[in-house]
A and B are shown apart, each in its own frame.
Chain A
Amino acid sequence: MKATGTVFKYGSNVDTDVIIPARYLNLSEASQLAKYCMIDLDPTFVQRVKPGDILVAGPNFGCGSSREHAPMAIKAAGISCVIAPTFARIFYRNAINMGLPILESAEAAAAIAEGDTVEIDFDTGRIADATTGKTYQAQPFPPFLQRIMESGGLVGYVKAKRAAGKKG
């Protein structure tokens, strides 16, 4: 699987309250939530983002609440991948569970600039900045998490396990 897109770049500790503020949590449809994605940090984000675009940010991306509305809003806004040196742990597991690709790379997160065109190969974890010509290597996921991602997220994994259990 590959993705290509334009980069939106933000700082460190981007928290779930700016990704999707609580005042919109009375919504639970992804397409509705996407309309307010990043609104308190960058009100122009929703107008500018195109399908396939890439978020690059500083450490501890997604800190704060456990709201799955955050990765849901990002995914529904069209973002194909988030790159950061580290992710807050609940955001990390939510992203895996719902199949939003995320990659950890301190180098890529530091060097890639707003507006760059970036290509990502998820199978190898290779990140290529077409604007600067530089490439970076992100940590690949351990096999167990890859299995979850390959099943289309945790639901697919649970379903497959249930089906196997019934047969046995």
Chain B
Amino acid sequence: MGMTMTQKILARHAGLEKVVAGQLIEADLDLVLGNDITTPPALKVFEETGAGTVFDVEKVAIVPDHFTPNKDIQSAEQAKRIRLFARAQGIVNYYEQGEMEMGIEHVVLPENGLVAPGDCIIGADSHTCTYGALGAFATGVGSTDMACGMATGTAWFRVPEAIRFELVGKPSAWVTGKDVILHIIGLIGVDGALYESMEFTGPGVAELSMEDRFTIANMAIEAGGKNGIFPVDEKTLAYLEKYAPKRLTAGTYRIFRADDDARYAATHTIDLAKVPPTVSFPHLPSNAKALGTFPEVAIDQVVIGSCTNGRIGDMRMARRILKGRKVAKGVRCIVIPGSQKVYLQCVREGIAEDLVEAGAVFSAPTCGPCLGGHMGILAEGERCVSTTNRNFVGRMGHIRSEVYLASVPVAAASAVAGRIAGPDEIGVRKEG
């Protein structure tokens, strides 16, 4: 019996010829990640291990992105602790606000060339699964795993089974990777892929941009998945050429393919042409509904950004819809680029100007409202359409506030309409 793509990567990093689902292994790590929330508890644990120094100063990344620029004294103290640690250890990939490498962790790590196909990565952040878009095995862990990973360069894993998503067809106008993943989570539920990897294959993959793939892999955890992973194709290699040229020329990457006889727990065929623009209602990402199938929902806020949809393509899409139009009276539209590079690009291309003229708030990169941190917290009873990835109770503020997850085109159009709406409803012409 053959191995899935994920199993092959894990076997390789465990120094084994073969692994089977359920097997417990210890694997070598190519990268260990932490942020300003998960790193402080990890520092205490790291000290307890007695290691003293991290296993490799180039293979640890620490990104203070959640409560930064520091929103209060306590978060400033947390950020200071990790800054001092990074300095003392000589961590190469530690970034400070304003540096060109800075931004939301899952946007900047690939942008900074730290992820390549075949890598084995753990991050003390659940959306570490984002990097599967590049054909790497990447999974979210806790602070103790981060600490022990920094100390030893290894982690334990239970080899997962996989669910295969065979993508066919081509997405229709205004349908993005976000709609695809919300649709899939609606189909299988928030624990539909519990303990399992989600492997995306089929001819439909070629129809998805790298940004679509990042968005889809990002939300694998929202279906309970251990990781989400895409095969490596020309688009992946073109992305690496742009963002990770060193890894590409040094050849320090490896393309794995699932064996033809790999075993899957289930296979779902997803016809991309049939995926509708999709909105996930409160309070679970699996409450997915097709746009146009529900009664009017008036809104108070729109958030465009996060590690799910904070890339340059997302910003260009927001501009496409908001340029020359106005955010509806009474609605706050908050647009947050995912990284300093995306932010600069928005300034260069005039996106920032168009968004501000439309009446949007345009901010420097941060997680901010995505986790109810700062920069757009909701009051009791308020409703927000958000391009982020979670709509749990209280996620963006008051426990009686509501978050509706959507794509960038739907979020931007909703900002103009003052209610959940698609681009067609506010008179934006179809693409192409």
**Contact, CB under 8 Å: B125 / A63:** no
- Which residues does B use to contact A, with CB under 8 Å? 24, 37-38, 40-41, 45, 48-51, 66-67, 72, 74-75, 78, 123-126, 128, 140-145, 147-148, 151-152, 156, 190-191, 194-195, 221, 224, 226, 284, 371-373, 390, 392-395, 399
Nearest CB of chain B from residue A38's CB, rounded to whole Å: 12
Is A148 located at the chain interface by the 8 A CB criterion?
yes
Nearest CB of chain B from residue A106's CB, rounded to whole Å: 13
**Contact, CB under 8 Å: B191 / A88:** yes
Known: A17-B394, A59-B191, A65-B390. 10 other contacts (CB 8 A): A66-B125, A66-B126, A86-B194, A88-B224, A97-B145, A98-B144, A144-B156, A153-B144, A155-B148, A162-B152
A-B pairs, 4 with minimum CB distance: A94-B142, A26-B74, A68-B142, A60-B191
- In the bound complex, how far is the Cα of B124 from the Cα of A98, in angstroms? 14
Residues on the A chain within 8 Å of B221, using CB: 90
Q: Which of A31-79 contact B (CB under 8 A)?
A: 40-41, 59-60, 63-69, 71-72
**Contact, CB under 8 Å: A28 / B40:** yes
**Contact, CB under 8 Å: B144 / A155:** yes
**Contact, CB under 8 Å: B78 / A90:** no
Residues on the A chain within 8 Å of B191, using CB: 13, 59-60, 63, 86, 88
Residues on the B chain within 8 Å of A64, using CB: 126, 390, 392
- In the bound complex, how far is the Cα of B284 from the Cα of A144, in angstroms? 34
- The 8 A CB mask of A131-151 against B (1 = contact, 0 = none) is 000000000001011001000
Known A144-B156, A155-B48: A26·B72 in contact at CB below 8 Å: yes
- In the bound complex, how far is the Cα of B75 from the Cα of A21, in angstroms? 15
Residues on the B chain within 8 Å of A98, using CB: 142, 144
Nearest CB of chain B from residue A59's CB, rounded to whole Å: 6
Is A2 located at the chain interface by the 8 A CB criterion?
no
Residues on the A chain within 8 Å of B394, using CB: 17-18, 21, 40
Partner of A26, one of B50, B67, B393: B67
Q: Which of A1-37 contact B (CB under 8 A)?
A: 13, 15, 17-18, 21-23, 25-28
- In the bound complex, how far is the Cα of B232 from the Cα of A161, in angstroms? 36
Nearest CB of chain B from residue A67's CB, rounded to whole Å: 7
- The 8 A CB mask of A79-117 against B (1 = contact, 0 = none) is 000000010111001100110000000000000000000
- In the bound complex, how far is the Cα of B22 from the Cα of A144, in angstroms? 12
**Contact, CB under 8 Å: B373 / A89:** no
Is A120 located at the chain interface by the 8 A CB criterion?
no
What are 16 A-B residue pairs whose CB atoms fall within 8 Å in the complex?
A15-B393, A17-B393, A22-B372, A22-B395, A25-B67, A25-B371, A28-B78, A59-B191, A64-B126, A67-B37, A69-B41, A88-B224, A93-B141, A154-B156, A158-B49, A162-B51
- In the bound complex, how far is the Cα of B372 from the Cα of A64, in angstroms? 14
Nearest CB of chain A from residue B148's CB, rounded to whole Å: 5
Partner of B373, one of A22, A60, A94, A97: A22
**Contact, CB under 8 Å: B74 / A27:** yes
- In the bound complex, how far is the Cα of B37 from the Cα of A11, in angstroms? 27
- Which residues does A use to contact B, with CB under 8 Å? 13, 15, 17-18, 21-23, 25-28, 40-41, 59-60, 63-69, 71-72, 86, 88-90, 93-94, 97-98, 142, 144-145, 148, 153-155, 158-159, 161-162
Nearest CB of chain B from residue A13's CB, rounded to whole Å: 6
Partner of A93, one of B49, B142, B284: B142
Partner of B49, one of A27, A60, A142, A155: A155
Residues on the A chain within 8 Å of B37, using CB: 25, 67, 69
Residues on the A chain within 8 Å of B147, using CB: 155
- In the bound complex, how far is the Cα of B38 from the Cα of A162, in angstroms? 24
- In the bound complex, how far is the Cα of B24 from the Cα of A160, in angstroms? 19
**Contact, CB under 8 Å: B190 / A94:** no
Residues on the A chain within 8 Å of B140, using CB: 66, 90
- In the bound complex, how far is the Cα of B59 from the Cα of A15, in angstroms? 31
- In the bound complex, how far is the Cα of B35 from the Cα of A25, in angstroms? 12
**Contact, CB under 8 Å: B142 / A90:** yes
Residues on the B chain within 8 Å of A142, using CB: 24
**Contact, CB under 8 Å: A26 / B148:** no
- In the bound complex, how far is the Cα of B152 from the Cα of A63, in angstroms? 27
**Contact, CB under 8 Å: B372 / A154:** no
Residues on the A chain within 8 Å of B195, using CB: 89
In the complex formed, the residue of B with least CB distance to A27 is: B74
Nearest CB of chain B from residue A142's CB, rounded to whole Å: 6
**Contact, CB under 8 Å: A26 / B124:** no
Residues on the A chain within 8 Å of B48, using CB: 155, 159
Partner of A13, one of B24, B190, B399: B190
